[in-house]
């Protein structure tokens, strides 16, 4: 049992892009990838990202004509693509046969695999007053703030950031790889792993229960907002961002790239679909399924989740269907479909 005092002030920064150590010439990337360079040859790339997170200076890849225009018109400055197309002024294309493989080559170069040789990496920074129980694993280049309590058998993987006053209960995994695959049906391996080079950022005053899993971003950050409290056995998918002071009960499952506002409550076993938004102070009742965006300040229930008061009235009427059917038969008002079947 050891208390570490390696850092006294660990400010959090939200970075939604995997940044390069310094800006890199796009001509260097063309040579590195063996790509044809079209457009601005003087540009400097600052990071690599997915299409839904890109910022100016980012590299992004696209390998399907359906998404060419989306990528080219996005905030990304540099596009790895498998066909020469018209490119806007100030941007550049890197034309290669396999954009996905080119993306992986860049990730592996700038975020190479580093084997662990001890339970707590020498590159980890751990703030004053934080206590790590025996059996905690802390990966390379990870930061843990002040006055945290990390319980036994917690795993915090490389490049993650934990704020001040954070509690993480036993057996939780922070920074596991994204469940994210490039799918092609014309190759032997249909689902090819999209290597994760993003992070998990846990802000100040967060509590995370036992046996939770929070996946790192594919190329950006998965963020748990300040003051959020999570029960046991909760999963948060890659690149999802939760607001401040949320409350998640046991067995909640949140898919990738979900935006959750401040003060949101998800009760037990709620399932949230990918790439959607839940507004501030929304409440989703237990065992509900969320397939699309939810407005702020409402209470939701059911699958698909809807206004709870409406959904509960629907359930009352569903229970009355047998009674209504008997009334219809008694008064000769059988539905058309039923009469038609009898005639046959």
Q: pLDDT digit string (tens) for 248-305? A: 999 999 999 999 999 999 999 999 999 999 999 999 999 999 999 999 999 999 999 9
CA distances from 205 to 6, 111, 194, 224, 228 (A): 20, 29, 32, 10, 7
Q: Are residues 217 and 239 in contact, defined by beta-carbon separation less than 8 angstroms?
A: yes
Q: What is the pLDDT of residue 13?
A: 44
pLDDT, tens only, 29-48: 999 999 999 999 999 999 99
pLDDT, tens only, 231-248: 999 999 999 999 999 999
Dihedral angle computed from the Cα positions of residues 142, 146, 149 and 153, in that order, rounded to the nearest 10 degrees: 10
Give strand pairing partners of 132. 2, 150
User: Tokens 């360079």 identify what position?
Assistant: 37
- Tell me the pLDDT band of 324, cut-offs 50, 70 and 90: confident
The answer to whether residue 116 scores a pLDDT higher than 90 is yes
Percent of the chain with pLDDT over 90: 76
Q: Average pLDDT, stretch 109-114? A: 93
Task: Report the C-alpha gap between 53 and 31 in whole angstroms.
Answer: 26
Domain boundaries in the chain?
Answer: 18-110
Span 18-110: which CATH code? 3.40.1390.10
Q: What is the pLDDT of residue 68?
A: 92
The structure tokens listed for 31 are 């040579």
Higher pLDDT, 143 or 338: 143
Segment (H or E) for 336: helix 336-343
Alpha-helical (H) ranges within 76-126 are: 99-110
Q: What is the pTM of this model?
A: 0.87
Task: Report the C-alpha gap between 289 and 174 in whole angstroms.
Answer: 25
Q: What is the pLDDT of residue 64?
A: 87
Residue 79 exposed, middle or buried by CB count within 10 Å (0-12, 13-18, 19+): buried
Handedness of CA 223, 16, 180, 106 (dihedral sign): negative
Q: Which residues are catalytic?
A: 238
pLDDT, tens only, 165-212: 999 999 999 999 999 998 888 788 899 898 899 999 999 999 999 999
């Amino acid at each position: 049992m050891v208390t570490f005092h390696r850092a006294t002030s660990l400010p959090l920064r939200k970075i939604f892009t995997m940044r390069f150590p310094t800006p890199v010439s796009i001509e260097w990337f063309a040579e590195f990838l063996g790509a044809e360079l079209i457009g601005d040859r003087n540009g400097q790339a600052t990071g690599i990202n997915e299409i839904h997170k890109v910022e100016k200076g980012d590299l992004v890849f696209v390998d399907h004509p359906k998404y060419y225009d989306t990528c080219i018109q996005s905030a990304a400055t540099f596009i790895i693509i498998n066909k020469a197309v018209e490119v806007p002024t100030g941007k550049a294309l890197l034309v290669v046969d396999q954009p996905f493989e080119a993306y992986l080559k860049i990730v592996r170069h700038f975020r190479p695999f580093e084997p662990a040789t001890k339970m707590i990496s020498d590159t980890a920074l751990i703030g004053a007053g934080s206590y790590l129980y025996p059996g905690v694993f802390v990966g390379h280049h990870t930061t843990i703030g002040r006055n945290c309590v990390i319980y036994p058998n917690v795993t915090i993987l490389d490049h993650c950031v934990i704020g001040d006053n954070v509690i993480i209960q036993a057996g939780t995994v922070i920074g596991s790889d994204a469940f994210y695959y490039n799918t092609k049906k014309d190759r032997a391996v249909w689902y090819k792993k999209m290597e994760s080079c993003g992070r998990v950022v846990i802000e100040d005053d967060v509590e995370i229960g036992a046996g939770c899993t929070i996946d790192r971003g594919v190329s950006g950050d998965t963020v748990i907002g300040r003051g959020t409290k999570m029960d046991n056995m909760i999963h948060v998918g890659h690149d999802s961002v939760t607001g401040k002071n949320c409350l998640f009960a046991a067995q909640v499952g949140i898919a990738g790239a979900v935006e959750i506002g401040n003060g949101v409550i998800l009760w037990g076993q709620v399932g949230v679909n990918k790439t959607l938004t839940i507004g501030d102070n929304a409440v989703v009742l237990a065992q509900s399924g969320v397939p699309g965006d939810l407005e702020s300040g409402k209470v939701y229930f059911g699958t698909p989740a809807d206004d709870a008061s409406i959904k509960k009235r629907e359930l009352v009427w569903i229970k009355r269907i047998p009674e209504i059917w008997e009334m219809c038969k008694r008064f000769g008002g059988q539905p058309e479909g039923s009469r038609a079947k009898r005639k046959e």
